[in-house]
Structure 1
């Protein structure tokens, strides 16, 4: 009977994590779909280079808005309720983009989708981290990143399937289906037990933990959550307190590094990069992007299996080293015109190595660490700040990529991202703590004791 109960609890835990990770899939779909759609949108709406960058980046503007408001809303109204509203926003954004009559309407629709992305990008991993047991927290939070990468691949496949008909409106419209599944599923999972304690509902938190944990684990975990919750104020001013300053530096620093190393130029502009490299047709360029997306999924699955065994730091450092080397090769491919007959294949290969390196470390580790390192009462607000920094860096990179290519050349742009990756490796080596095997309450106690990040 005890084994059956534990199996039931494990199934429910994975169900709750899987449903919330659907937010990650929609996040991935909506950032990936524009890469193929923009090839046809710019023809239909006669977009200039500057307006093309604005259309691509409109979703990022919305994401900034979502990240800015999401933390307060997640702490005030709960993670699950906010995700339900986010699912509705995903649906509305997809429909509005599909029927947009002009550029302005399309931009507005993409901003709406962006708001949903900005919220889901951190509230989904936040929710998962708060329901997960410490032994598999990394694996479960990484489900969100796996779902994100699957969403990107699905968007590429749909872009490819619809490219012959140039049906960019249907590319956006398909997002309605997973958004509806996401919204319905959220009604069948519980609120975060840690959020319930923070809002003064320990009895409800106990009931949730009884569905997620074995009976002998419930009392001890609830006591630890209540102990830490009693020490906290939960105000914005706490984010700037000296004891939490280093946690904020780590979170915001990782947030910026994840973007300025160039990953989303690959996601947004993958078909464009391959056309630069000589893959002539739009359909072939989109198909090459599907291969990149599959590599993203495979290596994120590898990271999911390793992250609770090897740890966060080793994966992060290996990841950044691989990204640096692959960006050096990619830049070299574009710098040597005598290789023009093979530059397409060199570009494809180096981009796949780059994406694989990102996926095995920096991709999932950033969102995992961000969901782990902050105290309960301000976790939503603190993750909101980190996510806002992430999307701000994302926006800057996206709107400047084509301009950088124009000024520095293709090789110089990728070498610039490689140089930044070296700086990111140094930041991770000296400042990012190892959170493997630590409860969220132990991590919180570490910061409140005024200890250095590497001492965790």
Structure 2
């Protein structure tokens, strides 16, 4: 591959040389020893460490809460507050980091998030009381929300259309790894580690994420939006195989960005444009149902639900471990299928199983089966729900948000997407134990089954298929009024 001279690269953006030439990522001073595919996979994997931190830091409360409740003598309401504090921070972080990523770029925003992760987990581990712990988890939540907003966007903007689904779902898989690690710690280190150690140890992957982002490229789409075409060529060159791909993609990004820029005011009012409304309705609806389906509530409160229903502490913790393992395995399975089957089809196949599982789970709790020989049925129904939910709507929750919003409003829209997702999570998590007290565990499961059914109806009528389509093609369908699925 040839290397263009600096004076050629610095030509104005309307010159065809800049539009049509591929710039090698190598130079006399620096050589990239990785192939584009390997480099792209490496960049996606490093960025996805943020997902591991998200999963671990939200999931560790499941095992740690038993110790924290004992140490600080927490009521059920206080348990909800300590658990949900991280979600309040996540809402704030998801909104704030969108603005940061617009100003500083995707890469630097991920690094800031990594630093906040490290501060938050150390502060949590050093908390002298429940109020300090809640405040520390609020800070930690800022990083969780920021990671969920920026990392899927960063990966999606680096990835080619055919691989985008698989690569963005590395974030989901990393979340699953974090949740599983938290469950393993909560189950097998319950007596060896204090809850303070459980929190503080997450500073290690946070540091790895910060250092790992240093050599990675910036998003080429962000660079184009800042008119830094030379750097955009270099960044895209590192993750594409051919000159033809780079040439076409840079031209497509420029064309779409210039059109969006002419219509943009640079404010939140941009989201009110009628042609954008379908993307916002679908994206925010998916974000809400991803959490209203009950997945995080199950992860946070499985030990609490099962011990309240008569299970022993060990049985409840092992069940929580099974929940985490299923989440990871089915997320990986979804990753392998999502670019083949499609986002919409995969989700519509899986949601009915989640509804049936929750209905049966509600019956099992109503029959008080845990006290007798049928306790295994409760665990079976719980695991079945995790299979259908983790392998369906959880696979697309962050993926769809990284795909359907046009470049001109992507930072604001993905911030709102993440805020909606975390707000829904907060609503469900902060009311879960109160809902159980009001309706009983069985009644609560039926309520969550109804929410899953509503999610199915929404996706069937509203969500288009984005498999194999470039980000620019999806944006064009919005402008042409062909965004919604055809029946």
Q: TM-score range by the shorter chain?
A: over 0.9
Give the one of 195, 199, 207 matched to 2:234: 207
- Equivalent residue, structure 2, for 1:263: 295
Q: What's the TM-score, normalizing by structure 1? A: 0.96
The structure 1 segments of at least 4 consecutive aligned residues displaced by more than 3 Å after TM superposition are: none
- Equivalent residue, structure 1, for 2:27: none
- Equivalent residue, structure 2, for 1:284: 315
Structure 2 counterpart SS, 1:163: coil
The answer to whether residue 177 in structure 2 is matched with residue 177 in structure 1 is no
Residues 284-329 of structure 1: CA deviation (Å, up to 9, x unaligned): 3222211111111111111111111100011111221111011011
- Are the counterparts in 1 of residues 311 and 370 from structure 2 also a CA contact under 8 Å? no
The answer to whether residue 258 in structure 2 is matched with residue 230 in structure 1 is yes
Q: Cα RMSD (Å) of the superposition?
A: 1.7
Map 1:27-176 onto structure 2 (within 5 A).
27-165=54-192, 167-176=194-203
Q: Distance in 2 between matches of 1:305 and 1:6?
A: 27
**Structure 1 residue 344: deviation in Å?**
3.2
- Equivalent residue, structure 1, for 2:395: 364
The answer to whether residue 419 in structure 2 is matched with residue 419 in structure 1 is no
Which blocks of at least 5 consecutive residues in structure 2 are unaligned? 3-31
**Structure 1 residue 339: deviation in Å?**
6.2
Q: Once structures 1 and 2 are overlaid, which stretch shifts more, 332-341 or 388-397? A: 332-341
- Are the counterparts in 2 of residues 331 and 410 from structure 1 also a CA contact under 8 Å? yes
- Equivalent residue, structure 2, for 1:246: 278
Structure 1 counterpart SS, 2:481: coil
Q: Distance in 2 between matches of 1:95 and 1:15?
A: 28
Which blocks of at least 5 consecutive residues in structure 1 are unaligned? none
- Are the counterparts in 2 of residues 328 and 415 from structure 1 also a CA contact under 8 Å? yes
- Equivalent residue, structure 2, for 1:218: 246
Structure 2 counterpart SS, 1:307: helix
- In the superposition, relative to structure 1, how do residues 342 and 255 fare at CA in structure 2: closer, same or farther (>3 Å)? farther
- In the superposition, relative to structure 1, how do residues 342 and 93 fare at CA in structure 2: closer, same or farther (>3 Å)? farther
Q: Distance in 2 between matches of 1:454 and 1:172?
A: 44
The answer to whether residue 334 in structure 2 is matched with residue 303 in structure 1 is yes
- In the superposition, relative to structure 1, how do residues 276 and 46 fare at CA in structure 2: closer, same or farther (>3 Å)? closer
- Equivalent residue, structure 2, for 1:406: 437
The answer to whether residue 343 in structure 2 is matched with residue 272 in structure 1 is no
**Structure 1 residue 83: deviation in Å?**
0.6
**Structure 1 residue 409: deviation in Å?**
0.7
Q: Once structures 1 and 2 are overlaid, which stretch shifts more, 42-51 or 438-447? A: 42-51
Q: Distance in 2 between matches of 1:320 and 1:58?
A: 29
**Structure 1 residue 7: deviation in Å?**
6.8
Q: Distance in 1 between matches of 2:78 and 2:147?
A: 27
Residues 349-404 of structure 1: CA deviation (Å, up to 9, x unaligned): 11111111111111121211110001112111101111111111111111111111
Q: Distance in 2 between matches of 1:57 and 1:291?
A: 23
Structure 2 counterpart SS, 1:25: helix
Q: Distance in 2 between matches of 1:312 and 1:260?
A: 19
- Equivalent residue, structure 2, for 1:450: 481
Q: Distance in 1 between matches of 2:468 and 2:267?
A: 28
- Equivalent residue, structure 1, for 2:221: 194
- Are the counterparts in 1 of residues 165 and 335 from structure 2 also a CA contact under 8 Å? yes
Structure with bigger gyration radius: 2
**Structure 1 residue 165: deviation in Å?**
4.2
- Are the counterparts in 2 of residues 278 and 344 from structure 1 also a CA contact under 8 Å? no
Q: Distance in 1 between matches of 2:196 and 2:282?
A: 40
Kindly tell me the number of residue pairs found equivalent between the two proteins: 453
> Which structure carries more helix by proportion?
1
- Are the counterparts in 1 of residues 310 and 370 from structure 2 also a CA contact under 8 Å? no
- Are the counterparts in 2 of residues 162 and 168 from structure 1 also a CA contact under 8 Å? no
**Structure 1 residue 416: deviation in Å?**
0.5
Q: What's the TM-score, normalizing by structure 2? A: 0.90
**Structure 1 residue 158: deviation in Å?**
1.1
